[in-house]
A and B are shown apart, each in its own frame.
Chain A
Amino acid sequence: MNLAGFIARNAMRNKRRVILTTFSVALSLFLYTVLQTALREMTQPASSEDSALRLVVRHRVSLANVLPVKYHARINSMPGVRVCSKFTWFGGVYQDAKNFFPQFACEPDKIAPLFAEAEFDPREIADFIGDRTGCIVGVKTMERFRWKVGQKITLTGTIWDCSPELTIRGVYRGGVDETNLFFQHAYFDELTGDLGSVGTYWIKALNADVIPELIARIDRTFENSDAETKTETERAFQLSFVSMFGNIKMLIGSISTVIVFTMILVTASTMSMAIRERMREIAILKAIGFDGKRVVSMIVAESFGLALAGGIVGCFGAKLLFANVDIYALTQGFFLKFDVTPHILAGGMLIAAVLGVTSCAIPALTAMRATIVAGLRELD
């Protein structure tokens, strides 16, 4: 036997304590890892994905403000723009107020290139382009209302006072959201009396590298006009809806902090109970010749080992789990991927290490200071 073996034996002496401590540290750090990864995925979109190339141009003030149609040509001619489509939120219902689903007025020939990750039938796209009152619907909404291609449907506007009568020309599958309905912006303009305005412009950039410059250029171009723009990635655009419910970043940050502190308190209390039980043995060790420093380092090593074991299970468990889970399907497209990065893993392990030391600091100091004679009297 050596000193390390003795420390390991001490750590393992109470199986229930080992399991509970390791498990609670693992669970907390698993949560921490998930939260940090979610935060990262939400705030910095994946650049390799097709969807990351999409930008949304909207009115700087709010989504309720519209943009002039004349912006279309100017944006379209900017370098780095592959596709630019008018994109107006219709916000109607089908037959009944509870039958809500997203509907957009857009340019029929731009839909397929804009949402390249979704599956469109080229013949159906051609039919859609050829029919002024045609529409293309996501498979989920088709199934929901048991619609068939060729069927005529009427939407009732809730924002715009009109009721488009549409013919379903095609179905799309896959992509970020399978519930949308797309119909022609030209038809929408006709129904609303050619207002000359557009809700938003959706852009597909040539590649990820041009995005920052493109965003800056668009917003700079329309600066100091009646309708100043705010251009952002699709992900950031979606996030602005999420953020309506509060500052996500701060929320996740504070939850993480609470997790870490709770974990420190729980581990510290188990650790101090474990050491208290052993005060007499510690007195014996000191009598045998272990000095205070050695006693402290043995306690710290034990606590450190337990915390690190929990950290490994929690952090790397999360990594393993998300490497084998289809997060895209699981979150219905909210997360495209869920990369537990080395950076996040290192953060989690650092917390485990700090936890290991802080949770035993007080019992270790108590053990160091206790006199041998007092220790021998414990439970005597």
Chain B
Amino acid sequence: MQTPMVQIRALSRRFQQGDVEVLALDRVTLDIAEGDFVALMGPSGSGKSTLLHIIAGIDRPTSGQCIVRDVDVATLSESALANWRNSHVGFVFQTFNLIPVLTALENVELPLLLTGLSAAQRRAHAEAALELVGLSDRLRHLPRQLSGGQEQRVAIARALATDPTLLVADEPTGNLDARAAQDVLELLEVLNREAGKTIVMVTHDPKAAGHARRIVRLEKGELSPDAAAGLAT
């Protein structure tokens, strides 16, 4: 069997808030295979976002390891880590987090500015990504001229632009109505099945989790015993 793309080993994350210490993640061990689509579920405050942040390299563990494609992410310097994120991780957030002064096309182009691509190549990549999410006719629209569902699809296109190893999404449908949420989830599913993208998605919504291949549950920072069980679709 191939080595898993993400190997999480005895991962803990503590937050110090004044005198109080919060143990957000408690010795979590988890593998995510290439091409998997994992839904992270659990009650509020159970550490879902924290785990996602560490996998995506925007937060560092207090102890334990998170190895993505043979790289122990926590050992990279700030600058190297930024570089690593640019080429390996695509982010999708609950609030769409597009840059308001940039058009849809420019937002998608943003991560490509850090690559060695020429202006024409950047444009072509960005256009292709927007086409993939079905927004070829909205290239010149500013975020405020788009619906919530469209904004989230632009965000997904931006996450895909650099062709990352891993797509992470924190409650991507949390701010969408049922119809738009359905579109986004179907899009993620297609990206996973047809483009082979590895996806980790945090969600509260069991229906959303139903689109994933696998459900991992967190409870007070620990993996639920039945974590390995749930196989969906």
Q: Contacts A1-B102, A288-B91, A289-B83 known; A373 to B109 CB distance under 8 Å?
A: no
Whether A2 lies near B113 (C-beta < 8 A) is yes
CA distance A354 to B83 in the complex (A): 31
Q: With an 8 A cutoff between CB atoms, is B195 at the interface?
A: no
CB proximity of B166 to chain A, nearest CB, Å: 13
Whether B79 lies near A289 (C-beta < 8 A) is no
Interchain CB contact (< 8 A) of B86 among A280, A289, A380: A289
Number of A-B contacts (CB under 8 A): 70
Tally chain B residues at the interface, Cβ within 8 Å: 28
Task: Please report which residues of chain B, range 74-101, place their CB below 8 angstroms from some CB of chain A when the two chains form the complex.
Answer: 78-79, 82-83, 85-87, 89, 91, 93, 95, 97, 99-101
Whether B102 lies near A9 (C-beta < 8 A) is yes
CA distance A289 to B76 in the complex (A): 13
CA distance A10 to B102 in the complex (A): 9
Please give, as numbers and ranges, the residues of chain B lying within 8 Å of A3 by CB-CB distance.
Answer: 113
Whether A1 lies near B106 (C-beta < 8 A) is yes
Q: With an 8 A cutoff between CB atoms, is B135 at the interface?
A: no
Chain A residues touching B, majority SS: helix
Please give, as numbers and ranges, the residues of chain A lying within 8 Å of B158 by CB-CB distance.
Answer: 288
Whether A290 lies near B82 (C-beta < 8 A) is yes
Chain B residues touching A, majority SS: helix
Task: Please report which residues of chain B, range 131-161, place their CB below 8 angstroms from some CB of chain A when the two chains form the complex.
Answer: 158
Q: With an 8 A cutoff between CB atoms, is A144 at the interface?
A: no
Please give, as numbers and ranges, the residues of chain A lying within 8 Å of B97 by CB-CB distance.
Answer: 280-281, 284
CA distance A380 to B59 in the complex (A): 18
CA distance A284 to B155 in the complex (A): 11
CB proximity of B220 to chain A, nearest CB, Å: 19
CB proximity of B125 to chain A, nearest CB, Å: 13
CA distance A291 to B97 in the complex (A): 18
Q: With an 8 A cutoff between CB atoms, is A317 at the interface?
A: no
Q: With an 8 A cutoff between CB atoms, is B114 at the interface?
A: yes
CA distance A180 to B2 in the complex (A): 104
Q: With an 8 A cutoff between CB atoms, is B47 at the interface?
A: no
CA distance A10 to B78 in the complex (A): 24
CB proximity of A127 to chain B, nearest CB, Å: 78
Task: Please report which residues of chain B, range 23-63, place their CB below 8 angstroms from some CB of chain A when the two chains form the complex.
Answer: 53, 56, 58-59
Tally chain A residues at the interface, Cβ within 8 Å: 26
Whether A288 lies near B102 (C-beta < 8 A) is no
Whether B102 lies near A372 (C-beta < 8 A) is no
Interchain CB contact (< 8 A) of A287 among B85, B102, B109, B113: B85
Instruction: Name the residue among B83, B109, B113 with the largest chain A CB count within 10 angstroms.
Output: B113
Q: With an 8 A cutoff between CB atoms, is A376 at the interface?
A: yes
By Cβ-Cβ distance, the 7 closest A-B pairs, closest first, are A289-B86, A291-B82, A372-B58, A291-B79, A288-B111, A13-B101, A1-B106
- Which A residues fall within an 8 A CB radius of B? 1-3, 6, 9-10, 12-13, 280-281, 284-294, 371-373, 376, 380
Knowing that A1-B109, A6-B102 touch, tell me 20 more A-B residue pairs with CB under 8 angstroms: A1-B102, A9-B101, A12-B101, A281-B99, A284-B93, A286-B58, A286-B82, A287-B91, A288-B91, A288-B110, A288-B111, A289-B82, A289-B86, A289-B87, A289-B111, A289-B114, A290-B82, A291-B82, A291-B83, A294-B114
Chain A to chain B contacts (Cβ below 8 Å), 22 pairs? A2-B113, A6-B106, A6-B110, A6-B113, A12-B101, A281-B99, A281-B100, A284-B91, A284-B97, A287-B56, A287-B85, A288-B85, A288-B86, A289-B85, A290-B82, A291-B82, A292-B79, A293-B79, A371-B58, A372-B58, A373-B59, A376-B93
